Structure 1
């Protein structure tokens, strides 16, 4: 069993790493990946720039930890939602609530992904995209249980469009209370995912 000082050091290191990732999201969202230096990042948590390298080998590694980490969290969290839901309808409502929680809690991470995904190393960029594809398919699987006659491509389009809605709206919702914002987002997402599609007449 580790002694108390060792445990405290491990905990402090983990907390500092988490703080660096949180500040990286804020700084990258506000200034862009290229507009933030390692010194800026270290200063934001009260350490020198070189001290950041005790946690990450490079600024690009910070970005990778941020974006791969959030994608892993969404996939793992989404799986837990589905696995603990009694039926597909419950799973869908809980998935929507889960993603709304993310969008409202981490808008800076969403901005960073939108603007800086291309700055990742190729293998990290592909890891993020693979995790995102699997997250989308998790939703599509639930939608397919609710609407088995609907083509998966259409269900996938609905899911991806819904992510666009949920991920973009919190940026412009400052004039609406958080409680009302959450309710509106959940209502609109459910309508987008389950409402009837209107087909244009063929000519």
Structure 2
């Protein structure tokens, strides 16, 4: 009887080892083929952000927002990133591209492209958050969740990293205020406040919000 149990345990261990190796290989393959992490790392390390970078970030998250996310969860952060891209960052960097084109084509009335460095840093912060979350989720892989795509993680637990990311963004917003770039800072604050209010209207709220 003991020998039978030993054989069964050995078989189960071998199957589990094979399953884990297969899942890790699959997710590594998905990363290498899509270039998801590489593109975000490239954006996070760039000196100057472009409109194409904003479109890459928008493409790296969901097609549409989550419904009823828990405040400061990954779902909630995904919704915030979508809002920031769609309602603020695309417009800012599209305007930058237009002004750059007009400057290069001799329009002296638009001789200077005025995009604050704080906007660039907000984009880098978003990329660093996505990379950090993705890396940590890989370390805590739920091995028995079939078909789990680690590039589209569906986590609704609040986290301190999300709260810290919002703090970092708000630090850049304060710099905009200090530099008299009030219109941009108001737009970002409005988007963050709207996303926070949406989450507060649901039952699940986060203790981390008190730290902000």
The TM-score normalised by the length of structure 1 is 0.29
- Between Structure 1 and Structure 2, the one with more helix by share is 1
Calculate the TM-score normalised by the size of structure 2: 0.28
Higher relative contact order (CA 8 A, sep 6+): 2
Query: Which is greater in Rg?
Result: 2
